[in-house]
Every structure is written in C-alpha cells, then in structure tokens.
Amino acid sequence: MTYSASAGRAMPPLAHKSSRRLVAILCVGATAAWTLALVTGMYITAEGPLRVFSVASHILAMVVAFGAILLVDRHGFLWLIGRRKLFETIRLDDAASPLIWTGIVGLLFTGVFLSPNLANPLTLIKLVAVLVLMLNGIMLIPLMRRLLVMPPTTTFGALTPGQRFHMLSCLTISQACWWTAIVIGFVNAEF
C-alpha cells in the first residue's frame, strides 16, 4: 500500500471511516486470495522443470518481499531511536510497499505449484503465518495514514501510547510471522 498521496496534508474528516472500510475490504480480499491459493494448491502437482521453476520463483518472491520488509523495519527502528526522521521512514516505506506486496502475491501464486502437505503441522503453521503477516501489513494502513499528517520531524516518543503500541506490535508480529514461515519453509523443503 502506498500512503503518500496526501503526504503533509490534513486528513479529510471521513478518512478514519474510509480507512476502516479499506482495511476491512483488504482483509477480506487477502483472506480470499490466501484461501484460493491454498485450495488450488491441493489440486495441482507440479513436477520436473515446472516444480524447479516454481521453487526458484517462490524463493525469489520471498527474498524480494522479506528483503524490503527488513529494510523498512531497520529504517523504522532507526527512527524509533532518533537516528532517522519520520519523513525519511515514510518515503522508504512508500517505495518498498510495492516490492513487499508484489513479493507476497508472488509467494501466493508460486505456492500453488508447491503441493503443500497439509497433513504436516509445520506446513499449517507456515500457511497461517503467511495469512497473519498479510493481515498485519493491512492493519498498519490507518497508522501510516496518521503518520503522514504529522510534522516530518515527529519522533517516536511524540506518538500516543496507542500508536506506539500499534507500531511495535505490528513490527513484532511481522518479524515473528516472516521468520516462522521462512524457517519452516526451509525445514520442509525437498530439493
């Protein structure tokens, strides 16, 4: 998601309602896409070169999305400790968001061809982690919209306690889900 359309401008009075509606629609859409990928993956078996291509593409999508996440999270941490300005962090997030979401869509699409073993509890944990990380990213939209209208030099300490909790909990959930999915993916990998 990009947030910069209204950077530096006051939010319209109905923006909070539209943010809630957008978050609800995106959460339903993400859950539907995840479910579709999961169900479709149960009926598709890729072998030979298609499987190799699917695995390589899956890893590439993971690298793109997770690499962008690590960059944004690191920059956000530097803002948190006062080593970066808010506007720098928002600009980086705005630039990285298309990479993150393209990578996630790539993970869902290529995952269809990997024949996930749903009888394996680790696979189920990985799949749920992917869904949670998608929903978690969507839940950041309202907070990012609020940050846009703050002065560009706003510090982490200037946020309300609720905003700080929202940001830190989303960061923690994101990292926990990404690392869970990546570790399980490599543990379950059949090369």
pLDDT of 63-80, one tens digit each?
999 999 999 999 999 999
The structural domains of the chain, with segments of one domain joined by +, span 13-188
The whole model's pTM is what? 0.88
pLDDT of 28-48, one tens digit each?
999 999 999 999 999 998 999
Q: What pLDDT shows up at residue 18?
A: 83
**HSE-CB for 107 with a 13 A CA cutoff:** 26
Residue for token digits 């999961």?
38
Can you give the pLDDT of all 191 residues of the chain as single tens digits? 444 444 444 445 445 678 899 999 999 999 999 999 999 999 998 999 999 999 999 999 999 999 999 999 999 999 999 999 999 999 999 999 999 999 999 999 999 999 888 999 999 999 999 999 999 999 999 999 999 999 999 999 999 999 999 999 999 999 999 999 999 999 988 65
What residues have CB less than 8 Å from 79, skipping those under 6 apart? 85, 86, 88, 89, 155, 156
The answer to whether 102 touches 64, Cβ cutoff 8 Å, is yes
Q: What pLDDT shows up at residue 34?
A: 98
Task: Quote the CA–CA distance of 143 and 180 in Å, as a whole number.
Answer: 25
DSSP symbol at 120: S
